[in-house]
Amino acid sequence: MSSTTTTRAEYCVIACADAWRDNGEVLASPMGLIPSIGARLAKRTFAPDLLLTDGEAMLVGLDGAAEGWLPYRRHLTMVTGGRRHVMMGASQLDRFGNQNISCIGDWQQPSRQLLGVRGAPVNTLNNPVSYWVPKHSQRVFVARVDMISGVGYDSAAAAGPSATRYHRIPRVVSDLGVLDFETPERTMRLASVHPGVTAAEVQAATGFPLTRPDEVPYTREPTASELRLIRTVIDPDGLRDREVPPA
């Protein structure tokens, strides 16, 4: 281990990176800074076959050199072909993993218009979708989302086999911990807390009851090599601390 203490942002990076473990030769689509650092860490270490983009129309290696062309129309084919694992943001997220990025309030005349559903409906029905929430709060983790953009487990089940066939939400990473849907009802479960956080704190910041094992494990420690890569190669300027400040 490094002599310095692992920061909260670094636990978040590790938890995001692990989302792409054993995914094979798929496109990692990270949205947000910490998922981006996580995807690059995964590719540099345990998931070398991952594909990355430059955020525009090119597939690029870790050095930024182009290795393929992925304009929007081909990107959408990659989504529906399933060779992709995206980590999206969420303005709202409920206990079945329904996600909202469209608007807050009544859809007819929202109190706050956000982005629109974007690609959340197609993503969630076609390739694994994880979520990243930099500020875990009851504003984000709500009992019921206002506009289902990303499809959750209950909504997919209600829509039938065409909806459930490729639907999968592997994990939700927040600044407090890692959540998944490994329960019989496919409801949100607290899988781990980042060191320094208690399960009770996560529950208090969540607007619905979480499934909590008696002993909630801690998010794993980075290896010395992972920590070195994060700090000296991938994010030497420490931008990660701006997205998730030290606890």
> What is the torsional sign of CA 173, 74, 151, 112?
positive
User: Do residues 32 and 243 make contact, with C-beta atoms less than 8 angstroms apart?
Assistant: yes
- Sheet containing strand 58-60, edge to edge, reads 52-53, 58-60, 66-69
Interface with other proteins (CB under 8 A), residue from 2, 60, 81, 122: 122
Residue 70's identity, in one-letter code, is L
119 lines the binding site for other proteins (CB under 8 A):
yes
- CB nearer to other proteins: give 110 or 196: 110
The site map against other proteins for 159-198 (x = CB under 8 A) is: xxxxx-xxx-------------------------------
| HSE-CB for 180 with a 13 A CA cutoff | 17
Residue carrying the six token digits 């197609």: 122
Q: Which part of the chain contacts other proteins (CB under 8 A), choosing from 42-50, 71-79, 178-186, 193-201? A: 71-79
Give the Cα separation of 129 and 171 in Å (integer): 8
150 lines the binding site for other proteins (CB under 8 A):
yes
Q: Which part of the chain contacts other proteins (CB under 8 A), choosing from 9-17, 119-127, 174-182, 210-218? A: 119-127
127 lines the binding site for other proteins (CB under 8 A):
no
User: Do residues 41 and 50 make contact, with C-beta atoms less than 8 angstroms apart?
Assistant: no
Interface with other proteins (CB under 8 A), residue from 2, 46, 58, 218: 58
- Structure letter (DSSP) for residue 165: T
Interface with other proteins (CB under 8 A), residue from 147, 169, 179, 197: 147
Between the two ends of the chain, the Cα-to-Cα distance in Å is 20
Residue 20 makes CB contacts below 8 A (sequence gap 6+) with 26, 28, 38, 39, 42, 43, 47, 50, 85
Number of residues that bind other proteins (CB under 8 A): 47
148 lines the binding site for other proteins (CB under 8 A):
yes
219 lines the binding site for other proteins (CB under 8 A):
no
Binding to other proteins (CB under 8 A): which residues in 75-104? Answer: 76, 79-80, 102-103
| E-state strands within 2-135 | 27-30, 52-53, 58-60, 66-69, 84-88, 92-93, 99-100, 103-104, 112-113, 129-133
124 lines the binding site for other proteins (CB under 8 A):
yes
Interface with other proteins (CB under 8 A), residue from 81, 110, 196, 207: 110
Which residues sit at the interface with other proteins, rule CB under 8 A?
56-58, 69, 71-73, 76, 79-80, 102-103, 107-122, 124-126, 147-151, 155-156, 158-163, 165-167
